[in-house]
Structure 1
Amino acid sequence: MADDERVVFEDDELSDEVSEFFSAVGKQLKLFREQAGLTQREFARRAGYSENMIGSVERGRRTPRVELLEAADELLGARGALKIVAEDVMKAKAKMRLTNPAFSKAFTKEESQAVEIHGYSTLLVPGLLQTEAHARALYQMRRPWLTEGEVEQWVAARMERQEILNRSPLPVLSWVLDESVLQRPLGGWDVHLEQLRRLVAIGRMWGVELQVMPLDRTEQAGMGGPFTLLTPSGRPQIAYVEVQHVNRLITDSEEVRRMAARYSSIRAQALTPQESLTLIEKMLGER
């Protein structure tokens, strides 16, 4: 599974304890929001966060940001109740132990600061584009098995990464997905159809280009497998590859240049962004 960000606690007891705590925080946030007479959408807009993030926090599926709780305290008239909780959240985060492979840590750091992100995917939807349900399904099908607590923490970490899509200004973003990715109903058809609808929505975002590599191409420059290209601000472009959870961050200028050239060929061979959206919409209409 590409683009993993592993958040694992010291032991199962601590994992359950922290998960329950974050769930309680989410319920408290929801209570104050409802008492203020605000919908999730209205509160998200006023707080400056996505509606999806607010919903995930309220359900206890996402680590609540300290900044969000502090802002919510003011917006919802919590009179300090949420600010006090924010202090406990910081303590809970301090107890967590991140066990990302070194390259994955480096990748997610570079990704969060990149001014350009381009990716080619052959097996699954890239992490930044996944719905919460799709991400959860991917983690649940991993072998060896993950615990329920690990699944929820890894999903939360993946959703956290997607704040990149809410940045202003937005990085230059493009992805090419192999058509097989669109045909593989991972997690079941309900989950898959929701994922296809999200791809259409992201493909329509200003500054994002989403393309599909058709299965009927007789020449395909991406047979070497998936990869990601990142352009850090003020520094040369770098690349990232992962296979069977072996991660490699590539900084060698000549190797990155070859991968960038390969990506240009892949994009030229793929359907145009508009043709790609039309194909996905057609798939949705057939179900």
Structure 2
Amino acid sequence: MNTTDGADESSWELDPEDESGAVIATVGRQLKMWREAAGFDRTKFGERMGYGANLIYKIERGARIPRPEFLDKADEVLGAGGKIAAMKADVERARYPKKVRDLAKLESEAVELGAYGNHNLHGLLQTEEYARALYEMRRPAYSPDEVERYVSARMARQGVFYRLPSPALTFVLEQVTLERTIGGRGVLRRQLERLLDIGQLRNVEIQVMPTDSEDHAGMGGHLQVVKLKDGTAVGYVEAQLPGRLITNATDIQLLELRYGIIRSQALSPRESRAFIEKALGET
């Protein structure tokens, strides 16, 4: 039985400023009422569930987000007949940080997405272990629960690659992102293999910006442009502080122009694939 509050238990910490807290608080209250109606105290319920009483307490008061498997188990233990398990959809929407939900929503509605990154690979391209290594090196440090929450959210966004109808997805990567051994050499090797796999999808183009390129329009940092089904476009930029969405039409035109120039200055998709294969062979 698990008796600690670490990330290995079926929950994540909740950001108190995230409006999804109301959903999680409601789920927690429902779980508490079902538990009490079944005649369990927290200790006994925790034993039946395989978790510590302290974790049960935090979930019931809305301080932790229960994982889907926790809700399934609680439904079984409490004899809820599917009523607790049915809350998984609501919890799933509330599971991820607001800024991630907003970005994921845009990506889910995209017909075209173009992204340039200058210091690490774009989140949609990352393997789980690469993403985990990135979050674990953040300073100030994230808690294990926060790392788990962000990694899971990032992996969930990658369904955009296989959505139908398929959006057009283009990425420009800096050469250094193919060489920096984030997470270790083995993690980098598997990440390069992932890039080669993703690059074979018909709706994806990956380009590399060589370090020795004399012309480079992307020195201002990470940028992303998303074109939506309704014909509008949204930009996204990142710096040291949290990224922000760009909706001003003039600013979006500037980002689109800049991204187009960056793509023209980078290696072609075919040349980039050869470059990535070479990097993999040298890693």
TM-score where L is the length of structure 1: 0.70
| Aligned equivalent of 1:87 | 86
The within-5 A match list for 1:11-160 is: 13-14=58-59, 18-19=66-67, 22=69, 86-87=85-86, 89-90=88-89, 92-93=91-92, 99-101=97-99, 105-160=101-156
| Distance of 2:130 and 2:238 partners within structure 1 | 19
Alignment partner for residue 165 of structure 2, among 146, 162, 169?
A: 169
- Give, in angstroms, the shift of residue 88 of structure 1: 5.2
| Aligned equivalent of 1:60 | none
| Distance of 2:81 and 2:271 partners within structure 1 | 47
- Give, in angstroms, the shift of residue 105 of structure 1: 4.5
- SS state at 2:66 partner: helix
Higher relative contact order (CA closer than 8 Å, sequence separation 6+): 1
- Give, in angstroms, the shift of residue 248 of structure 1: 1.9
- Give, in angstroms, the shift of residue 10 of structure 1: 5.9
| Aligned equivalent of 2:248 | 252
Gaps of 5+ in 2: 1-11, 17-54, 74-79
Amino acid at match of 2:114: H
Pair 260,93 (structure 1): closer, same or farther in 2 beyond 3 Å = closer
Amino acid at match of 2:14: F
| Aligned equivalent of 2:178 | 182
Task: Report how many aligned residue pairs link the two structures.
Answer: 223
Amino acid at match of 1:247: G
| Distance of 1:206 and 1:194 partners within structure 2 | 21
| Distance of 1:154 and 1:160 partners within structure 2 | 10
Q: Is the 8 A contact 2:196 2:273 kept in 1?
A: yes
Q: Is the 8 A contact 1:227 1:242 kept in 2?
A: yes
The within-5 A match list for 1:258-277 is: 258-277=254-273
Pair 231,93 (structure 1): closer, same or farther in 2 beyond 3 Å = closer
Amino acid at match of 1:117: L
Q: Is the 8 A contact 2:221 2:238 kept in 1?
A: no
Pair 146,232 (structure 1): closer, same or farther in 2 beyond 3 Å = same
| Aligned equivalent of 2:211 | 215
- Give, in angstroms, the shift of residue 152 of structure 1: 1.2
Amino acid at match of 2:266: A
Alignment partner for residue 206 of structure 1, among 202, 208, 223?
A: 202
Amino acid at match of 2:170: S
Pair 242,105 (structure 1): closer, same or farther in 2 beyond 3 Å = farther
TM-score where L is the length of structure 2: 0.71
- Give, in angstroms, the shift of residue 83 of structure 1: 6.0
Q: Is the 8 A contact 2:97 2:150 kept in 1?
A: no
| Distance of 1:194 and 1:24 partners within structure 2 | 33
Amino acid at match of 2:278: K
- Give, in angstroms, the shift of residue 252 of structure 1: 1.6
| Distance of 2:273 and 2:227 partners within structure 1 | 26
Whichever of the two has the greater Rg, that structure is 2
Q: Is the 8 A contact 1:8 1:97 kept in 2?
A: no
Pair 216,145 (structure 1): closer, same or farther in 2 beyond 3 Å = same
- 1:239 aligns to 2:244 (yes or no): no
| Distance of 1:204 and 1:210 partners within structure 2 | 9
Amino acid at match of 1:89: K
- Give, in angstroms, the shift of residue 209 of structure 1: 0.6
| Distance of 1:83 and 1:118 partners within structure 2 | 42
- Give, in angstroms, the shift of residue 24 of structure 1: 8.9
Gaps of 5+ in 1: 1-6, 29-80
Alignment partner for residue 197 of structure 1, among 190, 193, 199?
A: 193
| Distance of 1:259 and 1:152 partners within structure 2 | 32
CA RMSD of aligned residues (A): 2.7
- SS state at 1:243 partner: coil
- Give, in angstroms, the shift of residue 265 of structure 1: 1.0
| Distance of 2:147 and 2:181 partners within structure 1 | 20
| Structure 1 residues 160-217: Cα deviation after superposition (integer angstroms, max 9, x where no partner) | 1111111012101100011111111111111111111101111111111100000111
| Structure 1 residues 251-270: Cα deviation after superposition (integer angstroms, max 9, x where no partner) | 22222112111111111110
